[in-house]
Amino acid sequence: MRIVVLTGKDSFLRVERSRQLQESLESAHGAVDRFDLDGASASLSAVLDELRSYGLMAQHKLVIVDNAEQFLASEDRRRAMERYAEKPQPESTLLMRAGARWNPGKFDKLVEAAGGAVLKCDAPSDQEAKAWCAARATRHHGAELGPGAAELLVEKIGPDLARLDSELAKLAAAAGQGKPIARALVSEFVGLSREEQAWEIQSVLLRHGSRGALQKLNELVRVSGAPEQLVGWSISDIMRKVHDAARLQAQGLDDFAVGKRLRLWGDSQALITKAARTLGPRRSASMLAECVRTDARTKSGWSSDTLRTLECMVVSVGGRLA
């Protein structure tokens, strides 16, 4: 293949497939000269010069253009690369790596017509991730996953291959050479599940208001990888509980009866009933409706930046809850 395009959000897959491509070129040509260019800043002439010039130390060159979607955003560059794809240099291989905003078009068709490939590097499904974990643990970490271990690992981490691989390395070391990775070991060494992480924001909203909840939101989404949609639903859910508690208080029920009716226990009961008493049925109903509308926007595609929408939601709700 003289041209390969890798697109998608999963950076781990892009790196792995790049490594596989380089290894296959080295197997076919011996040593390979590799050149990495940033498509956000590299000029068209720089890319074409690298592709068309001969390597000094090897018979074949691998030219990698990252941020390829930005490189081809210019109409002139796209047309020039389309002309190159019609007759690619035999002594070079072009690898273009792009994120989720790759726009397929004539260039993709020309790449495939020339015997190249356009491969998507999107996160796998949970089921695919479980099978991947089992194979990865055996081939790369010298360990086998025990019954239920892969299921629990994906439940906690999600189908993020980079994070899964990191956890597998840690678990293999903890299990010891030649010993299987048991489900109990995953439970002990891997943190809260995605769902458990998302629910954490409820108590922070009630205790610390907007500032604390904004920090927790960014920690959950950017660091822990909790699903944004689940975090949004969690915020709506806590407002539903506060509203239900406020209605029951308005009917004359005391906090103990409210907690029993809504199945609230421990600290959550005190925090929710306190917020309900502060807001009352009318204000809590208005806030609940606002949360539901915002949550619907993030799920219907009306929000162009889901995280920013959730941040606004947290500021609005947290400022009135605590």
CATH number at residue 130: 1.10.8.60
Interval 76-114: pLDDT, tens? 999 999 999 999 999 999 999 998 788 888 999 999 998
- pLDDT beyond 80 at 187: yes
Q: Which candidate, 130, 236, 230, 224, places its Cα nearest to that of 183?
A: 130
Interval 41-63: pLDDT, tens? 999 999 999 999 876 677 899 99
Whether residue 141 sits in one domain with residue 204: no
pLDDT value at residue 75: 92
Whether residue 40 sits in one domain with residue 78: yes
Indicate the pTM of the whole model. Answer: 0.57
- How large a percentage of the chain has pLDDT more than 90? 52
**Token digits of residue 106:** 């004539």
Whether residue 140 sits in one domain with residue 107: no
Ramachandran category for residue 6: left, alpha or beta (phi over 0 → left; psi -120 to 50 → alpha): beta
- pLDDT beyond 70 at 31: yes
Whether residue 167 sits in one domain with residue 198: no
Whether residue 212 sits in one domain with residue 314: yes
pLDDT value at residue 61: 93
Whether residue 199 sits in one domain with residue 281: yes
pLDDT value at residue 198: 62
pLDDT value at residue 183: 93
Asked whether the beta carbons of 155 and 41 are under 8 A apart, the reply is no
Whether residue 238 sits in one domain with residue 203: yes
User: How many separate domains does the chain show?
Assistant: 3
pLDDT value at residue 301: 67
CATH number at residue 203: 1.20.272.10
Triad 18, 20, 23: Cα angle to 5°: 110
* Structural domain of 14: 3-120
* Most confident residue range from 66-75, 217-226, 262-271: 66-75
Helix axes 266-300, 228-250, angle to 10 degrees: 130
Whether residue 238 sits in one domain with residue 303: yes
pLDDT value at residue 56: 67
pLDDT value at residue 285: 94
Q: Which residue has the higher pLDDT, 155 or 250?
A: 250
Domain end position, chosen among 189, 210, 230:
189
* CA pair distance 134, 64, nearest whole angstrom: 31
Whether residue 92 sits in one domain with residue 16: yes
Whether residue 305 sits in one domain with residue 284: yes
Domain end position, chosen among 189, 206, 231:
189
Whether residue 136 sits in one domain with residue 116: no
**Dihedral sign (CA 51, 57, 62, 65):** negative
Asked whether the beta carbons of 61 and 91 are under 8 A apart, the reply is yes
Whether residue 141 sits in one domain with residue 50: no
pLDDT value at residue 195: 59
- pLDDT beyond 70 at 232: yes
Domain end position, chosen among 164, 189, 214:
189
pLDDT value at residue 218: 80
Question: In this structure, which amino acid lies at residue 220?
Answer: L
Q: Which residue has the higher pLDDT, 68 or 295?
A: 68
Interval 258-306: pLDDT, tens? 988 998 877 888 889 999 999 999 999 999 998 888 888 777 767 678 8
